[in-house]
Amino acid sequence: MPTLPHPNDMRLLLAPMEGLLDFVLRDILTRVGGVDRCVSEFIRVTNTLLPERAFIRVVPELLNGGRTFAGVPVRAQLLGSDPVCLAENAARLATLGPYGVDLNFGCPAKVVNRHGGGAALLDDPELLLQIVAAVRRAVPAHMPVSAKMRLGVHDDERAVECALAIQSGGADELVVHARTKAHAYRPPAYWERIADIRAAVTIPVVANGEIWNVQDALRCRELSGCNMLMLGRGMVTDPGLALAIRGASAGGEHGSGPVHWHTLLPLIHDFWQLVRARLERRQQAGRLKQWLNFLRRRYPQAEVAYQALKTVTDAAAIDAWLAAQ
């Protein structure tokens, strides 16, 4: 087991989650605090050079110096399988000023994998190397290039080989989601396998998967040896999770105190206003209920809100209900 890092070196990243953790939720969750960096949901690259608006649509933070309005930097993620096309798009993306370029080698979605993208690439370490190397050459030397991978497609036998290929291509950092494509999002996450990868590579490694609370974070840190963790559904469920982990890592017995409902409720109002302003009408009510569905695992008040709004689709009616709270 690698030597554990000093707690003061802890870094916490916010995960990309297609259809959930988009720029709206990134904005709100980074206002709570504790997050050092975000990664955007993927920008799909398929045989064409995308216009600038395609990158800005997914990562509107590019219009704010590559940061959320709370000041947290955002790394833009690309998904594809053609090294030349990915490199061309990475070069265009780089001109817009992201806080680095990330490559998706972890998405388990069937529609993505059928086209040779995401986790499907983990069956071809040589192609991983070619993709990373092409993107690394295409963007300025000062701009970080990172990647996110799973442990494999059907098993984890080539996990270290894939990680070494990504490093050899010139990646500056590697996020490892501690499950295979076949595991999808079913628990557990195999954090100890991240330690094997960390022992084999020299670039920084970020541990990801099944971190729902402070205890999970500390256990992941112990088993993986990583001083960087990426939070996804756990942070959506408990917006104070990053602050709590940071507090616990610094020596507090239970970390920071919880983010109480009365503190979170104004942020839910802000989230709803952003959804109304930035998303299509047909998406709006569903997005609010989607987040409430996660929050009700942590907050009884969110359960009340979810039950009150679960059949409501009219935005004005949701406005009125929230205003009454």
What value does the mean pLDDT take over residues 53-71? 97
In a domain, 1, yes or no: no
Calculate mean pLDDT across residues 131-140: 98
Q: Is 140 exposed, middle or buried (0-12, 13-18, 19+ CB in 10 A)?
A: exposed
Rounded CA-CA distance 43/269 in Å is: 28
Catalytic residue selected from 38, 85, 107, 162:
107
Q: Scanning the structure block, which residue is given the tokens 């109480």?
A: 260
- Of 104-113, 144-153, 207-216, the range with the lowest mean pLDDT is 104-113
Give the C-alpha separation, 225 to 321, whole Å.
46
CATH value at residue 243: 3.20.20.70
In contact, 61 and 14? CB cutoff 8 Å: no
In a domain, 267, yes or no: yes
Do 31 and 105 belong to one domain?
yes
CA angle 18, 119, 228 (to 5 degrees): 70
In a domain, 254, yes or no: no
**Which pLDDT band, with edges at 50, 70 and 90, does 57 fall under?**
very high
Burial category of 112 from C-beta neighbours within 10 Å (exposed 0-12, middle 13-18, buried 19 and up): buried
The verdict on 242 and 287 lying in the same domain is no
Same domain, 279 and 143: no
194 lies in some domain: yes
* Phi, psi (rounded to 5 degrees) for 152: 160, -170
Structure confidence by residue, pLDDT tens digits, 228-241: 999 999 999 999 99
> pLDDT at residue 247 above 70?
yes
CB atoms inside a 10 Å sphere around CB 48: 10
Residue 211: closest CA among 203, 202, 219: 219
Q: What rounded mean pLDDT belongs to the chain?
A: 93
Shared domain check, 269 and 243: no
Distance CA 128, CA 105 (A): 8
Residue 190: phi and psi, rounded to 5, are: -95, 75
Residue 141: is it exposed, middle or buried by C-beta count within 10 angstroms (0-12/13-18/19+)? Answer: exposed
**Torsion, CA 158, CA 160, CA 163, CA 164, rounded to 10:** -110
Q: Write down how long the chain is.
A: 325
| Residue-range definition of the domain harbouring residue 316 | 261-323
The upper half-sphere exposure of residue 251, i.e. CA atoms within 13 Å in the direction of its Cβ, equals 2
DSSP 3-state helix, strand, coil percentages of the chain (rounded to 5)?
Answer: 50, 15, 35
For residue 76, the model assigns a pLDDT of 98
| pLDDT at residue 2 in the model | 38
Rounded to the nearest angstrom, the gap between the alpha carbon of residue 1 and the centroid of all alpha carbons in its chain is 26
Give the residue among 305, 310, 307 at the shortest CA–CA distance from 324. Answer: 305
Domain count within the chain: 2
Confidence of residue 252 (pLDDT cuts 50, 70, 90): low
Q: Is 107 a catalytic residue?
A: yes
What whole-number distance in Å separates Cα of residue 242 and Cα of residue 35?
6
Q: Is 255 inside a domain boundary?
A: no
| Residue where a domain terminates, one of 225, 249, 273 | 249
